[in-house]
Amino acid sequence: MADEPDNIFLSILRKIDQRTERMAEDLHDLKVRVTPVDEGRAGVNRRLDRLEHRVERIEKRLELSDATH
């Protein structure tokens, strides 16, 4: 009977360890999936920045830009 509390305690620790391991694996999977999305978003932002610059140049050439720019 004296070993029983230790066994329950170890059993609970093992379950916690298993759950923690599953959570770590899930987190890794999420990072793998999010990385390409984040890279795609960064690419879109770069393209938008270039388009904004081009529109500003066009507005200047056509004298459409505000004096405040």
Residue 3, pLDDT score = 60
- What is the reported pLDDT for 64? 87
Compute the Cα dihedral for 23, 27, 29, 33 and give only its sign.
Answer: positive
- The encoded tokens of residue 27 equal 């987190």
pLDDT at residue 39, rounded to an integer = 95
Distance from the first to the final alpha carbon of the chain: 82
Residue 6 tokens read as: 């230790």
Query: What was the pLDDT predicted at 2?
Result: 55
Residue ranges per domain, the chain? 24-63
pLDDT 10s per residue in the chain (69 long)?
456 777 999 999 999 999 999 999 999 999 999 999 999 999 999 999 999 999 999 999 998 876 555
